[in-house]
């Protein structure tokens, strides 16, 4: 039904999950045309814009999502990712902080905030966030990989080697 915004949104989500971002974005735009107060449609379009490297447009869409639903941690997380792509690490960290207040057990937000701290050269905070991500998800290979990189930069060779070994074990499935 071309007037059913939720059905159009659902199709857009399926297309986005399949990495068919141009088609998904068109569906999200149709859903917005039918129901301009549908936050998930703006969030979905923002994800597609980010995938298409339209980071400013993505930030605009995620900001609109948050105007409609200020308690949506996914929109905060997605806006933070777009801000990071524009090297707005302070803005990204602020969004990750808010997302984690709403969803404190979100390991990906800790990982990505750790990346932002690393870019700002705040290596202690980066390690703390990678460690939090690993605590929440002990099989999080990316957490170990990223923590190893930062530990190496800090001169913690033994910690970096241990994290590298755990990353390789998790990434390859070998013990």
29 token code pair: 């735009």
Q: Which residue has the tokens 């013990």?
A: 175
- Measured between alpha carbons, how far is 10 from 88 in angstroms, rounded to an integer? 31
Please determine, for residue 139, whether its predicted confidence score (pLDDT) is greater than 90.
yes
- Measured between alpha carbons, how far is 152 from 156 in angstroms, rounded to an integer? 5
pLDDT of residue 110: 98
**Phi, psi angle pair for 53, to nearest 5°:** 65, 25
**Average pLDDT of 52-62?**
98
Please determine, for residue 174, whether its predicted confidence score (pLDDT) is greater than 80.
no
- Whole-number percent of the chain with pLDDT over 90: 97
pLDDT of residue 17: 96
- Measured between alpha carbons, how far is 101 from 112 in angstroms, rounded to an integer? 15
Please determine, for residue 1, whether its predicted confidence score (pLDDT) is greater than 80.
no
Mean pLDDT of all residues in the chain? Answer: 97
**Confidence tier at 142 by pLDDT (50, 70, 90):** very high
Q: What is the dihedral of CA 64, 66, 72, 74, to 10 degrees?
A: 50
Yes or no: say if 126 and 115 are a contact pair by the CB < 8 Å rule: yes
Q: Model's pTM, two decimal places?
A: 0.92
- Measured between alpha carbons, how far is 175 from 164 in angstroms, rounded to an integer? 13
pLDDT in tens, 8-45: 999 999 999 999 999 999 999 999 999 999 999 999 99
pLDDT of residue 175: 63
**Phi, psi angle pair for 119, to nearest 5°:** -65, -30
DSSP letter assigned to residue 86: T
pLDDT of residue 33: 96
How many C-beta neighbours within 10 Å does residue 71 have? 10
pLDDT in tens, 68-83: 999 999 999 999 999 9
């Amino acid at each position: 039904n071309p007037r059913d915004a939720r059905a159009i949104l659902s199709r857009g989500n399926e297309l986005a999950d399949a990495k068919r971002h141009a088609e998904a974005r068109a569906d999200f735009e149709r859903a917005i045309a039918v129901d301009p107060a549908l936050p998930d449609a703006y969030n979905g379009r923002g994800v597609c814009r980010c995938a298409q490297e339209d980071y400013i447009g993505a930030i605009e869409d995620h900001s609109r999502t948050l105007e409609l639903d200020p308690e949506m941690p996914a929109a905060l997380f997605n806006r933070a990712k777009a801000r990071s792509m524009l090297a707005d690490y302070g803005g990204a960290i602020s969004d990750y902080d808010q997302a984690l207040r709403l969803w404190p057990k979100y390991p990906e937000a800790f990982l990505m905030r750790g990346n932002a701290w690393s870019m700002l050269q705040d290596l202690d905070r980066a390690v703390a966030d990678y460690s939090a991500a690993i605590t929440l998800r002990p099989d999080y290979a990316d957490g170990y990989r990223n923590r190893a990189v930062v530990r190496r930069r800090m001169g913690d060779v033994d910690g970096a080697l241990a994290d590298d070994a755990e990353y390789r074990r998790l990434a390859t499935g070998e013990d």
